Amino acid sequence: MNEIPLILGPLLVPGYVVKKSGIYWLYPDNYLCRKNQVVGFCNISLEAFPDAKGDTSPFAGEAELQVAFASPVAGHLRIDHETSFGGYLNFIGAQIWDARTPIAYLTPAGATGDRPLKNPMELNLLMLAGKLMTGLANYGTSLLPGWHSYMRAWWKGSASPPKTLLTLGICDAQGPVLGDHAAFLEFFEEADFACHLVIVPNELLVPCAPYLIEQFFRTEQDFNLIADDIRQNILHGPVTTTPEDYFFAGCLLTALQDSPVRRTFDIIAKDGYQKSLQPSYILLSSNAEPLQILRHKKLRYHIRIYPFRIEQAGAPACRAWLNQAFEIVPRTIADIKADYIRLLNAFRSHTNARLIILNQMSTSGREDLAFYMPFDAPMGNTLVHVAAKEMNLMLEELQTENDISVIDADAMAAEMGAAHHLPDGVHQSGLMQAQVRAEILRLMR
Protein backbone atom coordinates (compact mmCIF):
# COMPACT_ATOMS: atom_id res chain seq x y z
CA MET A 1 0.00 0.00 0.00
CA ASN A 2 1.17 3.56 -0.64
CA GLU A 3 -0.36 4.82 2.61
CA ILE A 4 1.62 6.98 5.01
CA PRO A 5 1.06 6.43 8.76
CA LEU A 6 0.06 9.66 10.48
CA ILE A 7 1.29 10.18 14.03
CA LEU A 8 0.76 12.92 16.59
CA GLY A 9 4.41 13.68 17.32
CA PRO A 10 5.66 15.04 20.66
CA LEU A 11 3.72 17.50 22.78
CA LEU A 12 6.02 18.56 25.60
CA VAL A 13 5.16 20.75 28.58
CA PRO A 14 8.05 20.71 31.09
CA GLY A 15 6.92 19.44 34.49
CA TYR A 16 3.62 18.04 33.17
CA VAL A 17 2.18 14.89 31.65
CA VAL A 18 -0.10 15.62 28.71
CA LYS A 19 -3.28 13.55 28.61
CA LYS A 20 -5.75 13.37 25.74
CA SER A 21 -9.33 12.36 25.18
CA GLY A 22 -10.54 10.13 22.39
CA ILE A 23 -10.54 11.75 18.96
CA TYR A 24 -13.48 13.45 17.30
CA TRP A 25 -13.13 12.85 13.56
CA LEU A 26 -14.69 15.57 11.43
CA TYR A 27 -14.75 13.60 8.16
CA PRO A 28 -15.42 9.99 7.10
CA ASP A 29 -13.04 7.35 5.78
CA ASN A 30 -11.51 7.99 2.36
CA TYR A 31 -12.13 11.71 2.64
CA LEU A 32 -9.95 13.72 0.24
CA CYS A 33 -8.43 16.34 2.53
CA ARG A 34 -6.41 19.43 1.64
CA LYS A 35 -3.00 20.29 3.01
CA ASN A 36 -3.36 21.90 6.45
CA GLN A 37 -7.07 21.01 6.61
CA VAL A 38 -8.16 20.08 10.13
CA VAL A 39 -9.71 16.61 10.08
CA GLY A 40 -10.11 15.84 13.78
CA PHE A 41 -9.42 17.05 17.30
CA CYS A 42 -9.21 16.01 20.93
CA ASN A 43 -9.31 17.63 24.34
CA ILE A 44 -6.13 17.65 26.41
CA SER A 45 -5.27 18.23 30.05
CA LEU A 46 -2.01 18.77 31.94
CA GLU A 47 -1.13 16.71 35.00
CA ALA A 48 1.76 18.05 37.06
CA PHE A 49 4.65 15.76 38.04
CA PRO A 50 4.70 15.10 41.80
CA ASP A 51 7.98 17.00 42.16
CA ALA A 52 7.01 19.87 39.80
CA LYS A 53 7.97 23.33 41.01
CA GLY A 54 5.72 26.36 40.78
CA ASP A 55 2.12 27.01 41.73
CA THR A 56 0.59 27.77 38.35
CA SER A 57 0.07 25.81 35.17
CA PRO A 58 1.56 27.18 31.92
CA PHE A 59 -2.05 27.75 30.82
CA ALA A 60 -3.43 28.98 34.13
CA GLY A 61 -7.06 30.01 33.79
CA GLU A 62 -7.45 28.41 30.35
CA ALA A 63 -9.62 25.48 31.34
CA GLU A 64 -10.35 24.59 27.73
CA LEU A 65 -7.35 23.11 25.89
CA GLN A 66 -7.69 21.25 22.60
CA VAL A 67 -5.48 19.96 19.80
CA ALA A 68 -6.78 19.84 16.23
CA PHE A 69 -5.08 17.58 13.66
CA ALA A 70 -4.36 18.84 10.16
CA SER A 71 -3.09 16.80 7.26
CA PRO A 72 0.52 17.65 6.34
CA VAL A 73 -0.21 16.96 2.64
CA ALA A 74 -3.32 16.54 0.49
CA GLY A 75 -4.65 13.02 0.13
CA HIS A 76 -7.24 10.39 1.00
CA LEU A 77 -7.60 9.80 4.73
CA ARG A 78 -8.11 6.39 6.34
CA ILE A 79 -9.11 6.63 10.00
CA ASP A 80 -8.26 4.26 12.81
CA HIS A 81 -11.70 4.22 14.44
CA GLU A 82 -10.32 2.73 17.65
CA THR A 83 -8.88 6.18 18.41
CA SER A 84 -12.41 7.49 19.00
CA PHE A 85 -13.57 6.06 22.31
CA GLY A 86 -17.04 7.57 22.26
CA GLY A 87 -19.06 8.66 25.27
CA TYR A 88 -17.41 10.61 28.05
CA LEU A 89 -13.96 9.32 27.08
CA ASN A 90 -14.09 11.62 24.06
CA PHE A 91 -14.42 14.50 26.50
CA ILE A 92 -11.92 13.94 29.32
CA GLY A 93 -8.18 13.26 29.16
CA ALA A 94 -8.21 9.49 29.46
CA GLN A 95 -4.88 8.55 27.83
CA ILE A 96 -1.31 9.75 28.04
CA TRP A 97 -0.30 11.55 24.83
CA ASP A 98 1.23 8.97 22.48
CA ALA A 99 3.63 10.56 20.01
CA ARG A 100 4.46 7.51 17.86
CA THR A 101 1.38 5.30 17.38
CA PRO A 102 -0.45 6.02 14.09
CA ILE A 103 -3.97 7.39 14.48
CA ALA A 104 -4.76 7.47 10.73
CA TYR A 105 -3.23 6.79 7.32
CA LEU A 106 -2.96 8.97 4.24
CA THR A 107 -2.72 8.12 0.56
CA PRO A 108 -1.18 11.24 -1.03
CA ALA A 109 -3.22 12.82 -3.81
CA GLY A 110 -2.05 11.55 -7.17
CA ALA A 111 -0.26 8.50 -5.74
CA THR A 112 -0.60 5.39 -7.91
CA GLY A 113 0.36 1.75 -7.57
CA ASP A 114 1.49 -0.17 -4.51
CA ARG A 115 4.65 1.01 -2.82
CA PRO A 116 6.29 0.02 0.47
CA LEU A 117 4.96 1.71 3.57
CA LYS A 118 6.72 5.03 4.08
CA ASN A 119 8.10 6.38 7.32
CA PRO A 120 5.44 7.89 9.58
CA MET A 121 4.57 11.54 9.05
CA GLU A 122 3.60 13.88 11.88
CA LEU A 123 0.24 15.58 11.68
CA ASN A 124 0.26 19.36 11.91
CA LEU A 125 -1.07 20.22 15.36
CA LEU A 126 -3.27 23.28 15.79
CA MET A 127 -3.34 24.22 19.46
CA LEU A 128 -6.61 25.72 20.73
CA ALA A 129 -7.10 27.37 24.11
CA GLY A 130 -9.87 29.36 25.74
CA LYS A 131 -10.49 31.09 29.04
CA LEU A 132 -14.06 30.38 30.07
CA MET A 133 -16.33 33.08 31.46
CA THR A 134 -17.12 30.51 34.15
CA GLY A 135 -16.02 26.95 34.76
CA LEU A 136 -19.67 25.97 34.42
CA ALA A 137 -19.74 27.00 30.74
CA ASN A 138 -17.65 24.19 29.23
CA TYR A 139 -19.60 21.90 26.88
CA GLY A 140 -16.66 19.92 25.51
CA THR A 141 -18.24 18.33 22.43
CA SER A 142 -16.97 20.51 19.57
CA LEU A 143 -14.10 22.81 18.64
CA LEU A 144 -13.83 25.60 21.24
CA PRO A 145 -17.34 24.92 22.48
CA GLY A 146 -17.47 26.96 25.70
CA TRP A 147 -18.48 30.51 26.59
CA HIS A 148 -15.18 32.38 26.54
CA SER A 149 -13.76 35.64 27.78
CA TYR A 150 -11.07 35.01 25.14
CA MET A 151 -9.94 32.19 22.85
CA ARG A 152 -6.81 31.61 20.79
CA ALA A 153 -4.94 29.23 18.48
CA TRP A 154 -1.47 28.58 17.00
CA TRP A 155 0.47 25.91 15.12
CA LYS A 156 2.53 23.81 17.51
CA GLY A 157 5.20 23.16 14.87
CA SER A 158 6.27 26.78 14.34
CA ALA A 159 10.03 27.07 14.59
CA SER A 160 10.08 30.88 14.50
CA PRO A 161 8.19 33.08 16.99
CA PRO A 162 4.69 33.56 15.57
CA LYS A 163 3.09 36.91 14.84
CA THR A 164 0.24 37.47 17.29
CA LEU A 165 -3.01 39.00 16.03
CA LEU A 166 -5.26 40.27 18.84
CA THR A 167 -8.84 40.86 17.62
CA LEU A 168 -10.90 43.26 19.70
CA GLY A 169 -13.60 43.81 17.15
CA ILE A 170 -17.23 43.01 16.71
CA CYS A 171 -18.73 40.57 14.17
CA ASP A 172 -17.12 42.07 11.05
CA ALA A 173 -13.63 41.69 12.59
CA GLN A 174 -14.19 38.41 14.41
CA GLY A 175 -15.85 36.56 11.52
CA PRO A 176 -12.88 36.57 9.10
CA VAL A 177 -10.51 35.47 11.88
CA LEU A 178 -12.73 32.79 13.45
CA GLY A 179 -14.02 31.48 10.11
CA ASP A 180 -17.05 29.35 9.30
CA HIS A 181 -16.19 26.72 11.93
CA ALA A 182 -15.64 29.39 14.64
CA ALA A 183 -12.26 27.85 15.49
CA PHE A 184 -9.72 29.74 13.29
CA LEU A 185 -9.47 26.82 10.84
CA GLU A 186 -9.64 28.75 7.56
CA PHE A 187 -7.12 31.34 8.75
CA PHE A 188 -4.52 28.71 9.59
CA GLU A 189 -5.12 26.74 6.43
CA GLU A 190 -4.42 29.86 4.38
CA ALA A 191 -1.57 31.34 6.44
CA ASP A 192 1.91 30.69 5.03
CA PHE A 193 3.75 32.06 8.07
CA ALA A 194 3.77 31.38 11.80
CA CYS A 195 0.90 33.12 13.54
CA HIS A 196 -0.94 33.13 16.86
CA LEU A 197 -4.54 34.36 16.91
CA VAL A 198 -6.37 35.74 19.95
CA ILE A 199 -10.00 36.87 19.97
CA VAL A 200 -11.80 38.67 22.81
CA PRO A 201 -15.55 38.26 22.06
CA ASN A 202 -17.86 41.21 22.62
CA GLU A 203 -20.38 39.21 24.60
CA LEU A 204 -21.51 42.28 26.54
CA LEU A 205 -19.36 45.39 26.11
CA VAL A 206 -18.65 46.68 22.62
CA PRO A 207 -14.87 47.35 22.18
CA CYS A 208 -15.06 51.03 21.21
CA ALA A 209 -12.07 53.33 21.72
CA PRO A 210 -13.16 55.13 24.96
CA TYR A 211 -13.82 51.81 26.69
CA LEU A 212 -10.53 50.28 25.46
CA ILE A 213 -8.52 53.33 26.60
CA GLU A 214 -10.04 53.29 30.08
CA GLN A 215 -9.67 49.51 30.31
CA PHE A 216 -5.99 49.87 29.38
CA PHE A 217 -5.25 52.42 32.13
CA ARG A 218 -7.69 51.16 34.79
CA THR A 219 -6.02 50.48 38.14
CA GLU A 220 -7.09 47.95 40.74
CA GLN A 221 -8.42 50.82 42.86
CA ASP A 222 -10.50 52.11 39.92
CA PHE A 223 -11.90 48.65 39.32
CA ASN A 224 -12.79 48.17 42.99
CA LEU A 225 -14.77 51.43 42.96
CA ILE A 226 -16.70 50.26 39.90
CA ALA A 227 -17.30 46.82 41.43
CA ASP A 228 -18.53 48.34 44.72
CA ASP A 229 -20.90 50.65 42.84
CA ILE A 230 -22.35 47.76 40.84
CA ARG A 231 -22.66 45.62 43.95
CA GLN A 232 -24.47 48.29 45.95
CA ASN A 233 -26.90 49.20 43.19
CA ILE A 234 -27.76 45.65 42.20
CA LEU A 235 -28.01 44.13 45.68
CA HIS A 236 -29.55 47.09 47.47
CA GLY A 237 -31.29 48.99 44.68
CA PRO A 238 -35.03 49.51 44.27
CA VAL A 239 -35.48 46.53 41.92
CA THR A 240 -35.42 42.92 43.13
CA THR A 241 -32.26 41.12 42.01
CA THR A 242 -32.68 38.03 39.79
CA PRO A 243 -30.19 35.30 38.76
CA GLU A 244 -29.94 37.04 35.38
CA ASP A 245 -28.69 40.18 37.15
CA TYR A 246 -25.80 38.25 38.66
CA PHE A 247 -24.85 36.85 35.24
CA PHE A 248 -25.04 40.32 33.70
CA ALA A 249 -22.95 41.91 36.47
CA GLY A 250 -20.37 39.12 36.29
CA CYS A 251 -19.95 39.55 32.52
CA LEU A 252 -19.67 43.32 32.93
CA LEU A 253 -17.00 43.09 35.64
CA THR A 254 -15.03 40.50 33.66
CA ALA A 255 -14.94 42.84 30.67
CA LEU A 256 -14.01 45.90 32.73
CA GLN A 257 -11.24 44.31 34.76
CA ASP A 258 -8.28 43.44 32.52
CA SER A 259 -6.91 44.89 29.29
CA PRO A 260 -6.08 42.08 26.83
CA VAL A 261 -3.40 44.32 25.29
CA ARG A 262 -1.42 44.02 28.51
CA ARG A 263 -1.64 40.22 28.62
CA THR A 264 1.07 37.83 27.54
CA PHE A 265 0.21 34.40 26.18
CA ASP A 266 2.10 31.11 26.54
CA ILE A 267 2.38 28.66 23.66
CA ILE A 268 3.76 25.17 23.14
CA ALA A 269 6.30 25.65 20.38
CA LYS A 270 8.31 23.18 18.31
CA ASP A 271 10.97 22.94 21.01
CA GLY A 272 8.32 22.22 23.64
CA TYR A 273 8.84 25.33 25.72
CA GLN A 274 6.30 27.98 26.59
CA LYS A 275 7.00 31.42 25.19
CA SER A 276 5.22 34.54 26.37
CA LEU A 277 3.91 36.54 23.44
CA GLN A 278 2.59 40.07 23.13
CA PRO A 279 0.36 41.30 20.30
CA SER A 280 2.05 42.06 16.98
CA TYR A 281 -1.18 43.35 15.44
CA ILE A 282 -4.43 44.60 16.99
CA LEU A 283 -7.57 44.36 14.85
CA LEU A 284 -10.49 46.72 15.51
CA SER A 285 -13.76 47.55 13.76
CA SER A 286 -14.90 51.13 13.20
CA ASN A 287 -18.46 49.78 13.37
CA ALA A 288 -17.88 49.54 17.12
CA GLU A 289 -17.62 53.35 17.39
CA PRO A 290 -20.98 54.97 18.28
CA LEU A 291 -22.08 58.57 17.86
CA GLN A 292 -23.57 58.28 21.35
CA ILE A 293 -22.05 56.50 24.31
CA LEU A 294 -22.98 55.85 27.94
CA ARG A 295 -20.92 57.55 30.66
CA HIS A 296 -21.24 56.83 34.36
CA LYS A 297 -22.45 59.99 36.07
CA LYS A 298 -20.28 59.58 39.15
CA LEU A 299 -17.26 57.48 38.19
CA ARG A 300 -17.06 58.89 34.62
CA TYR A 301 -16.15 55.68 32.82
CA HIS A 302 -17.71 54.80 29.45
CA ILE A 303 -19.47 51.68 28.21
CA ARG A 304 -21.36 50.65 25.11
CA ILE A 305 -23.84 47.78 25.23
CA TYR A 306 -26.00 46.74 22.31
CA PRO A 307 -29.70 47.12 23.23
CA PHE A 308 -30.42 43.56 22.10
CA ARG A 309 -27.91 42.26 24.65
CA ILE A 310 -29.84 44.01 27.42
CA GLU A 311 -33.12 42.61 26.11
CA GLN A 312 -31.70 39.08 25.92
CA ALA A 313 -30.18 39.26 29.39
CA GLY A 314 -33.34 40.23 31.26
CA ALA A 315 -31.54 41.47 34.40
CA PRO A 316 -34.12 44.00 35.69
CA ALA A 317 -31.93 45.32 38.52
CA CYS A 318 -29.02 45.92 36.14
CA ARG A 319 -31.29 47.64 33.64
CA ALA A 320 -32.58 49.96 36.34
CA TRP A 321 -29.00 50.72 37.37
CA LEU A 322 -27.98 51.47 33.77
CA ASN A 323 -30.92 53.85 33.35
CA GLN A 324 -30.22 55.66 36.61
CA ALA A 325 -26.42 55.71 36.83
CA PHE A 326 -25.44 56.53 33.22
CA GLU A 327 -25.93 59.49 30.91
CA ILE A 328 -25.86 59.60 27.12
CA VAL A 329 -22.88 61.54 25.71
CA PRO A 330 -22.77 62.53 22.01
CA ARG A 331 -19.62 61.97 19.94
CA THR A 332 -18.58 63.59 16.67
CA ILE A 333 -16.33 62.08 14.03
CA ALA A 334 -13.62 64.42 15.32
CA ASP A 335 -14.12 63.00 18.82
CA ILE A 336 -13.77 59.46 17.47
CA LYS A 337 -10.56 60.40 15.64
CA ALA A 338 -9.14 61.94 18.84
CA ASP A 339 -10.07 58.78 20.76
CA TYR A 340 -8.33 56.61 18.16
CA ILE A 341 -5.18 58.70 18.48
CA ARG A 342 -5.28 58.40 22.28
CA LEU A 343 -5.82 54.66 21.93
CA LEU A 344 -2.92 54.33 19.49
CA ASN A 345 -0.59 56.24 21.83
CA ALA A 346 -1.70 54.13 24.79
CA PHE A 347 -1.07 50.86 22.99
CA ARG A 348 2.32 52.07 21.72
CA SER A 349 3.39 52.81 25.30
CA HIS A 350 3.18 49.08 26.01
CA THR A 351 3.65 47.23 22.73
CA ASN A 352 4.95 47.66 19.19
CA ALA A 353 1.74 46.19 17.81
CA ARG A 354 0.40 47.68 14.59
CA LEU A 355 -3.22 48.82 14.63
CA ILE A 356 -5.53 47.49 11.88
CA ILE A 357 -9.03 49.00 11.55
CA LEU A 358 -11.89 47.86 9.31
CA ASN A 359 -13.86 50.70 7.77
CA GLN A 360 -17.63 50.79 7.24
CA MET A 361 -19.96 50.06 4.37
CA SER A 362 -21.02 53.52 3.20
CA THR A 363 -23.76 52.47 0.78
CA SER A 364 -25.90 49.40 0.26
CA GLY A 365 -26.92 50.54 -3.20
CA ARG A 366 -30.49 50.87 -1.98
CA GLU A 367 -30.45 54.55 -0.94
CA ASP A 368 -33.11 56.46 -2.89
CA LEU A 369 -32.83 60.01 -1.53
CA ALA A 370 -33.38 62.53 -4.32
CA PHE A 371 -32.25 65.55 -2.28
CA TYR A 372 -30.97 66.30 1.22
CA MET A 373 -32.71 69.59 2.03
CA PRO A 374 -35.02 68.10 4.71
CA PHE A 375 -32.07 66.94 6.82
CA ASP A 376 -30.33 69.22 9.29
CA ALA A 377 -26.56 69.44 9.40
CA PRO A 378 -24.59 67.52 10.33
CA MET A 379 -26.42 64.92 8.25
CA GLY A 380 -24.25 62.16 9.67
CA ASN A 381 -26.30 62.42 12.88
CA THR A 382 -29.41 61.38 10.92
CA LEU A 383 -28.32 59.40 7.86
CA VAL A 384 -26.36 56.23 8.49
CA HIS A 385 -24.70 56.10 5.07
CA VAL A 386 -23.52 59.71 5.42
CA ALA A 387 -22.05 58.95 8.85
CA ALA A 388 -20.25 55.94 7.38
CA LYS A 389 -18.73 58.04 4.59
CA GLU A 390 -17.53 60.60 7.16
CA MET A 391 -16.07 57.81 9.28
CA ASN A 392 -14.23 56.31 6.32
CA LEU A 393 -12.77 59.68 5.32
CA MET A 394 -11.58 60.17 8.88
CA LEU A 395 -9.93 56.73 8.84
CA GLU A 396 -8.10 57.64 5.63
CA GLU A 397 -6.77 60.76 7.35
CA LEU A 398 -5.81 58.70 10.38
CA GLN A 399 -3.94 56.21 8.19
CA THR A 400 -2.08 59.00 6.40
CA GLU A 401 -1.08 60.76 9.61
CA ASN A 402 -0.25 57.67 11.70
CA ASP A 403 1.39 54.31 11.16
CA ILE A 404 -1.78 52.21 11.04
CA SER A 405 -3.56 50.09 8.43
CA VAL A 406 -7.18 50.46 7.28
CA ILE A 407 -8.95 47.56 5.59
CA ASP A 408 -11.34 48.90 2.96
CA ALA A 409 -14.35 46.68 3.62
CA ASP A 410 -16.47 49.36 1.97
CA ALA A 411 -14.75 48.86 -1.39
CA MET A 412 -14.89 45.07 -1.06
CA ALA A 413 -18.63 45.14 -0.39
CA ALA A 414 -19.23 47.53 -3.31
CA GLU A 415 -17.29 45.31 -5.69
CA MET A 416 -18.86 42.05 -4.53
CA GLY A 417 -22.39 43.37 -4.09
CA ALA A 418 -23.27 44.67 -0.64
CA ALA A 419 -26.90 43.52 -0.82
CA HIS A 420 -25.77 39.87 -0.92
CA HIS A 421 -22.45 39.90 0.94
CA LEU A 422 -22.91 42.63 3.56
CA PRO A 423 -26.69 43.15 3.75
CA ASP A 424 -26.81 44.90 7.14
CA GLY A 425 -23.43 46.63 6.90
CA VAL A 426 -21.75 44.44 9.54
CA HIS A 427 -22.38 40.71 9.06
CA GLN A 428 -20.46 39.30 6.10
CA SER A 429 -21.02 36.33 3.82
CA GLY A 430 -18.44 33.55 3.80
CA LEU A 431 -17.02 34.88 0.54
CA MET A 432 -16.56 38.37 1.92
CA GLN A 433 -15.04 36.99 5.12
CA ALA A 434 -12.49 35.22 2.91
CA GLN A 435 -11.68 38.52 1.17
CA VAL A 436 -11.20 40.34 4.47
CA ARG A 437 -9.15 37.44 5.83
CA ALA A 438 -6.89 37.56 2.78
CA GLU A 439 -6.29 41.26 3.41
CA ILE A 440 -5.46 40.65 7.08
CA LEU A 441 -3.01 37.93 6.04
CA ARG A 442 -1.44 40.26 3.48
CA LEU A 443 -0.92 42.98 6.10
CA MET A 444 0.55 40.51 8.59
CA ARG A 445 2.76 38.98 5.93
Asked, as a colleague might, if the bond just before 378 is cis with ω within 30 of 0, I would say yes
Residue 85 confidence (pLDDT)? 84
Average of pLDDT values for 347-360? 95
Residue 77 confidence (pLDDT)? 95
Lowest mean pLDDT among 45-54, 259-268, 284-293, 397-406: 45-54
pLDDT bin (cut points 50, 70, 90) of residue 86 is: confident
Residue 116 has pLDDT above 60, yes or no: no
pLDDT bin (cut points 50, 70, 90) of residue 363 is: confident
The Cα–Cα gap between 20 and 92 comes to 7
Global confidence as pTM: 0.92
Give DSSP secondary structure letters for 121-140. EEPEEEEEEEEESSTT----
pLDDT bin (cut points 50, 70, 90) of residue 150 is: very high
Residue 91 confidence (pLDDT)? 80
Lowest mean pLDDT among 56-60, 151-155, 318-322: 56-60
Q: How much is the mean pLDDT over the chain?
A: 89
For 370-413, write each residue's pLDDT tens digit: 555 565 666 566 656 788 999 999 999 999 999 999 999 999 99
Residue 137 has pLDDT above 90, yes or no: no
Task: Classify each residue of 18-33 as buried b or exposed e, where b means 16 or more C-beta atoms within 10 Å of its C-beta.
Answer: bbbbbbbbbeeeebeb
DSSP state of 100: S
Average of pLDDT values for 420-444? 94
Residue 209 confidence (pLDDT)? 98
Residue 53 confidence (pLDDT)? 63
Residues contacting 136, CB < 8 A, separation 6+: none
